[in-house]
Chain A
């Protein structure tokens, strides 16, 4: 079974803090993705990566950055957290990107 794990299920941070969300996959997938999920807005793509050290902006990259130093690990960074970044963050991996994506359980982030 493909397993995608995220470092935290729940996270509470203060405005202005630097926040790291970690994602690890165990299936040697080339492609990894970060989404945020908000009620009524569905899944919005923040960043994705198709190879180590490669990254592409998604639909809503502002306020976020990413890092992929190893194939299995994809990190999402909030340089200075703001209250409008309170959301559910979902990581996914995929062998091809455009076909089956395997999602982690999500991190619910609250920024106070």
Chain B
């Protein structure tokens, strides 16, 4: 029940295309859903996060879509660029938790 399932494991997208990474969770007590971005040789860094009181959050070319009834959320990267090539982790946590549950990650490669 504590898992966050992330797919796909790897993704190749043409420059200018839309990259979509999906995550699903079981624990209905989760109320915070961040995405982290990790470049090679670096630690992960917070990219964007959403709470379940909204269905979508957009920051530049990055959008989180959230479906509370389906217990799913996804990251969309519009107009994908080679510089977006990285590993992306979805995550979740609930009120009172003292840690974050991470998905297994998606390696995204944007073809130039």
Contacts and interface: CB of A to CB of B under 8 A. Distances in A.
Interface of A: 4, 31, 33, 40-43, 45, 48, 50, 56, 58, 90, 92, 97-106
A48 B99 contact: yes
Contact of B104 (A40, A48, A92, A99): A40
B102 A31 contact: no
A32 to B, nearest CB: 11
Nearest to A103: B43
B45 A103 contact: yes
Nearest to B94: A98
Given A58-B99, A100-B34, A105 B41 contact: yes
Nearest to A58: B99
A98 B32 contact: yes
A2 to B, nearest CB: 10
Given A99-B32, A99-B93, A31 B98 contact: yes
Interface of B is mostly: loop
Given A98-B32, A99-B32, A103-B43, A43 B102 contact: yes
Interface string B69-96: 0000000000000000000010001100
A48 B98 contact: yes
A103 B94 CA distance: 20
B104 A97 contact: no
Contacts of A43: 44, 89, 102, 105
B42 interface: yes
B93 A90 contact: no
8 contacts: A31-B98, A42-B104, A48-B99, A50-B98, A97-B99, A99-B49, A104-B43, A106-B42
B12 interface: no
A106 B98 contact: no
B100 A98 contact: yes
A110 B40 CA distance: 18
Given A43-B89, A90-B44, A105-B42, A56 B104 contact: no
A102 B104 CA distance: 18
